Amino acid sequence: MITYEKDGAAIYRESFATIRAEAAAGLAGLEPVLSRTVVRMIHSCGMVDLIDDVVASEGFGPAAEDALKAGAPIFCDVNMVASGVTRKRLPAHNDVLCTLTDPRVAPLAAELGTTRSAAAMELWRDRLEGSLVVIGNAPTALFHLLEMLEAGAPRPAAVIGVPVGFVGAMESKDALHEHPLAPPHIIVRGRRGGSAIACGAVNALASEAE
Protein backbone atom coordinates (compact mmCIF):
# COMPACT_ATOMS: atom_id res chain seq x y z
CA MET A 1 0.00 0.00 0.00
CA ILE A 2 1.58 3.27 -1.15
CA THR A 3 0.66 6.51 0.59
CA TYR A 4 0.93 9.78 -1.32
CA GLU A 5 -0.88 13.08 -1.88
CA LYS A 6 -3.67 12.60 -4.42
CA ASP A 7 -5.33 16.03 -4.22
CA GLY A 8 -4.15 18.04 -7.22
CA ALA A 9 -4.89 21.41 -5.58
CA ALA A 10 -3.00 20.42 -2.43
CA ILE A 11 -0.03 19.29 -4.53
CA TYR A 12 0.07 22.69 -6.25
CA ARG A 13 -0.24 24.56 -2.94
CA GLU A 14 2.50 22.57 -1.27
CA SER A 15 4.78 22.83 -4.33
CA PHE A 16 4.49 26.60 -4.56
CA ALA A 17 4.93 26.97 -0.79
CA THR A 18 8.14 24.93 -0.95
CA ILE A 19 9.47 27.02 -3.82
CA ARG A 20 8.57 30.31 -2.12
CA ALA A 21 10.32 29.19 1.04
CA GLU A 22 13.48 27.87 -0.60
CA ALA A 23 13.79 30.77 -3.07
CA ALA A 24 12.67 33.43 -0.58
CA ALA A 25 15.88 35.45 -0.74
CA GLY A 26 15.85 35.71 -4.53
CA LEU A 27 12.12 36.34 -4.81
CA ALA A 28 12.08 39.06 -2.13
CA GLY A 29 13.05 41.94 -4.40
CA LEU A 30 10.79 41.06 -7.34
CA GLU A 31 7.53 42.71 -8.34
CA PRO A 32 4.55 40.32 -7.97
CA VAL A 33 4.15 39.43 -11.65
CA LEU A 34 7.84 38.58 -11.98
CA SER A 35 7.85 36.69 -8.70
CA ARG A 36 5.04 34.39 -9.78
CA THR A 37 6.70 33.93 -13.18
CA VAL A 38 9.96 32.80 -11.63
CA VAL A 39 8.09 30.53 -9.21
CA ARG A 40 6.38 28.73 -12.10
CA MET A 41 9.60 28.48 -14.05
CA ILE A 42 11.17 26.79 -11.02
CA HIS A 43 8.09 24.60 -10.62
CA SER A 44 8.40 23.36 -14.20
CA CYS A 45 11.97 22.11 -13.82
CA GLY A 46 12.28 21.19 -10.13
CA MET A 47 15.31 23.42 -9.59
CA VAL A 48 15.12 26.26 -7.07
CA ASP A 49 18.55 27.52 -8.10
CA LEU A 50 17.17 28.40 -11.54
CA ILE A 51 16.40 31.78 -9.99
CA ASP A 52 20.13 32.58 -9.96
CA ASP A 53 20.16 32.48 -13.77
CA VAL A 54 16.87 34.24 -14.51
CA VAL A 55 17.23 37.79 -15.80
CA ALA A 56 14.32 40.00 -16.84
CA SER A 57 14.59 43.36 -18.51
CA GLU A 58 12.93 46.42 -16.98
CA GLY A 59 9.19 46.27 -17.49
CA PHE A 60 9.04 42.74 -18.87
CA GLY A 61 6.38 41.45 -16.46
CA PRO A 62 3.75 44.14 -17.02
CA ALA A 63 4.49 44.25 -20.78
CA ALA A 64 3.86 40.53 -21.20
CA GLU A 65 0.88 40.49 -18.86
CA ASP A 66 -0.78 43.47 -20.53
CA ALA A 67 -0.19 42.06 -24.01
CA LEU A 68 -1.91 38.82 -23.08
CA LYS A 69 -4.85 40.68 -21.54
CA ALA A 70 -5.12 42.69 -24.76
CA GLY A 71 -5.40 39.47 -26.76
CA ALA A 72 -1.86 39.18 -28.10
CA PRO A 73 -1.09 36.00 -30.00
CA ILE A 74 1.55 33.71 -28.47
CA PHE A 75 4.15 32.63 -31.01
CA CYS A 76 6.07 29.47 -30.03
CA ASP A 77 9.20 28.07 -31.65
CA VAL A 78 8.18 24.43 -31.17
CA ASN A 79 4.93 22.52 -30.83
CA MET A 80 5.95 21.28 -27.40
CA VAL A 81 5.78 24.85 -26.09
CA ALA A 82 2.42 25.45 -27.75
CA SER A 83 1.19 22.19 -26.27
CA GLY A 84 2.19 23.17 -22.73
CA VAL A 85 0.36 26.49 -22.62
CA THR A 86 -2.70 25.96 -20.43
CA ARG A 87 -5.50 27.34 -22.58
CA LYS A 88 -7.93 27.95 -19.75
CA ARG A 89 -5.43 30.30 -18.04
CA LEU A 90 -5.29 32.64 -21.06
CA PRO A 91 -7.09 35.94 -20.36
CA ALA A 92 -8.39 36.61 -23.89
CA HIS A 93 -8.64 33.26 -25.68
CA ASN A 94 -5.23 34.20 -27.12
CA ASP A 95 -4.11 32.32 -30.21
CA VAL A 96 -1.20 29.98 -29.52
CA LEU A 97 0.73 29.53 -32.74
CA CYS A 98 3.66 27.41 -33.93
CA THR A 99 4.60 27.48 -37.60
CA LEU A 100 7.46 24.96 -37.47
CA THR A 101 5.57 22.28 -39.37
CA ASP A 102 4.08 24.66 -41.94
CA PRO A 103 4.89 23.26 -45.41
CA ARG A 104 6.46 26.59 -46.45
CA VAL A 105 9.14 26.35 -43.75
CA ALA A 106 11.50 23.67 -45.15
CA PRO A 107 11.97 25.38 -48.55
CA LEU A 108 12.27 28.75 -46.82
CA ALA A 109 15.00 27.40 -44.52
CA ALA A 110 16.94 26.12 -47.55
CA GLU A 111 16.51 29.47 -49.31
CA LEU A 112 17.66 31.47 -46.25
CA GLY A 113 20.42 29.02 -45.37
CA THR A 114 19.21 28.59 -41.82
CA THR A 115 17.37 26.15 -39.58
CA ARG A 116 13.68 25.39 -39.89
CA SER A 117 13.18 26.91 -36.43
CA ALA A 118 14.56 30.23 -37.66
CA ALA A 119 12.75 30.13 -40.98
CA ALA A 120 9.44 29.39 -39.24
CA MET A 121 9.55 32.83 -37.65
CA GLU A 122 9.34 34.54 -41.02
CA LEU A 123 5.71 33.41 -41.08
CA TRP A 124 5.00 35.41 -37.89
CA ARG A 125 5.59 38.86 -39.37
CA ASP A 126 1.95 39.79 -40.03
CA ARG A 127 1.04 39.43 -36.36
CA LEU A 128 4.41 40.00 -34.68
CA GLU A 129 3.56 43.55 -33.58
CA GLY A 130 2.52 43.44 -29.92
CA SER A 131 2.74 39.64 -29.70
CA LEU A 132 4.30 37.42 -27.04
CA VAL A 133 7.21 35.49 -28.53
CA VAL A 134 8.24 32.31 -26.73
CA ILE A 135 11.48 30.57 -27.67
CA GLY A 136 11.86 27.43 -25.56
CA ASN A 137 14.09 25.36 -27.73
CA ALA A 138 16.02 26.80 -30.67
CA PRO A 139 18.87 29.29 -30.24
CA THR A 140 18.74 29.95 -34.00
CA ALA A 141 15.16 31.16 -33.62
CA LEU A 142 16.21 33.69 -31.00
CA PHE A 143 19.15 34.86 -33.11
CA HIS A 144 16.86 35.13 -36.13
CA LEU A 145 14.38 37.24 -34.18
CA LEU A 146 17.16 39.73 -33.49
CA GLU A 147 18.08 39.77 -37.18
CA MET A 148 14.45 40.40 -38.12
CA LEU A 149 14.27 43.30 -35.65
CA GLU A 150 17.51 44.74 -37.03
CA ALA A 151 15.92 44.59 -40.49
CA GLY A 152 12.88 46.53 -39.28
CA ALA A 153 10.40 43.76 -38.45
CA PRO A 154 7.40 44.63 -36.28
CA ARG A 155 8.14 44.59 -32.56
CA PRO A 156 6.75 41.97 -30.16
CA ALA A 157 5.38 43.23 -26.84
CA ALA A 158 7.65 40.82 -24.95
CA VAL A 159 9.93 37.84 -25.46
CA ILE A 160 10.43 34.74 -23.32
CA GLY A 161 13.89 33.65 -24.45
CA VAL A 162 14.81 30.35 -22.85
CA PRO A 163 16.36 28.10 -25.51
CA VAL A 164 18.25 25.14 -24.06
CA GLY A 165 21.44 23.38 -24.93
CA PHE A 166 25.08 23.26 -25.81
CA VAL A 167 25.48 25.19 -29.07
CA GLY A 168 24.35 28.79 -29.18
CA ALA A 169 21.79 28.67 -26.38
CA MET A 170 23.82 30.70 -23.90
CA GLU A 171 25.06 33.07 -26.62
CA SER A 172 21.58 33.66 -28.07
CA LYS A 173 20.16 34.59 -24.67
CA ASP A 174 23.05 36.93 -23.91
CA ALA A 175 22.61 38.48 -27.39
CA LEU A 176 18.94 39.14 -26.69
CA HIS A 177 19.64 40.64 -23.30
CA GLU A 178 22.34 42.96 -24.62
CA HIS A 179 20.66 43.97 -27.89
CA PRO A 180 19.60 47.61 -28.21
CA LEU A 181 16.48 46.61 -30.16
CA ALA A 182 15.42 43.85 -27.77
CA PRO A 183 11.79 43.99 -26.65
CA PRO A 184 11.08 43.51 -22.93
CA HIS A 185 12.29 39.98 -22.18
CA ILE A 186 13.10 37.28 -19.70
CA ILE A 187 15.97 34.82 -20.15
CA VAL A 188 17.71 31.99 -18.28
CA ARG A 189 21.44 32.53 -18.52
CA GLY A 190 23.59 29.58 -19.54
CA ARG A 191 22.64 26.20 -20.98
CA ARG A 192 19.47 25.60 -19.03
CA GLY A 193 16.05 26.35 -20.48
CA GLY A 194 13.53 24.40 -22.54
CA SER A 195 9.89 24.04 -23.37
CA ALA A 196 8.71 23.34 -19.83
CA ILE A 197 10.39 26.43 -18.39
CA ALA A 198 8.99 28.48 -21.28
CA CYS A 199 5.48 27.22 -20.59
CA GLY A 200 5.88 27.86 -16.88
CA ALA A 201 6.57 31.49 -17.68
CA VAL A 202 3.64 31.83 -20.10
CA ASN A 203 1.21 30.16 -17.72
CA ALA A 204 2.27 32.45 -14.88
CA LEU A 205 1.99 35.60 -16.98
CA ALA A 206 -1.42 34.52 -18.27
CA SER A 207 -3.13 34.35 -14.88
CA GLU A 208 -2.58 35.14 -11.22
CA ALA A 209 -4.32 31.91 -10.23
CA GLU A 210 -2.17 29.24 -8.66
**CB of residue 115 vs a second copy: minimum separation in angstroms?**
5
- Stretch of residues binding a second copy (CB under 8 A), selected from 63-71, 88-96, 122-130, 162-170: 162-170
State yes or no: residue 107 binds a second copy (CB under 8 A): no
**CB of residue 180 vs a second copy: minimum separation in angstroms?**
13
Q: Per-residue contact track with a second copy, 29 to 68, x per CB under 8 A?
A: --------------xxxxx---------------------
Tell me the catalytic residues: 43
Cβ proximity to a second copy: between 94 and 195 the closer is 195
Q: Are 179 and 146 in contact (CB under 8 A)?
A: yes
6: buried, middle or exposed (CB in 10 Å: 19+, 13-18, 0-12)? exposed
Q: Per-residue contact track with a second copy, 165 to 184, x per CB under 8 A?
A: xxxxx-xx--x---------
Largest pairwise CA distance in the chain: 62
State yes or no: residue 79 binds a second copy (CB under 8 A): yes
- Stretch of residues binding a second copy (CB under 8 A), selected from 26-34, 60-68, 127-135, 189-197: 189-197
State yes or no: residue 84 binds a second copy (CB under 8 A): yes
Alpha helical stretches, state H, the chain: 8-22, 24-27, 32-45, 60-69, 79-84, 105-112, 116-120, 125-128, 139-150, 169-178, 195-206
Cβ proximity to a second copy: between 130 and 203 the closer is 203
- Which residues sit opposite 159 in a β-bridge? 133, 185
State yes or no: residue 111 binds a second copy (CB under 8 A): no
**Count of residues that interact with a second copy, criterion CB under 8 A:** 49
Q: Are 119 and 143 in contact (CB under 8 A)?
A: no
Cβ proximity to a second copy: between 5 and 126 the closer is 5
Beta-carbon contacts of 107 under 8 Å, excluding residues fewer than 6 positions away, are none
d(CA 93, CA 103): 26
- Return the H-helix or E-strand segment holding 31: none
- Return the H-helix or E-strand segment holding 159: strand 158-161
d(CA 63, CA 133): 12
Binding-site ranges for a second copy (CB under 8 A): 2, 4-8, 11, 14-15, 18-19, 43-47, 79-80, 82-84, 113-118, 139-140, 143, 146-147, 164-169, 171-172, 175, 190-196, 199
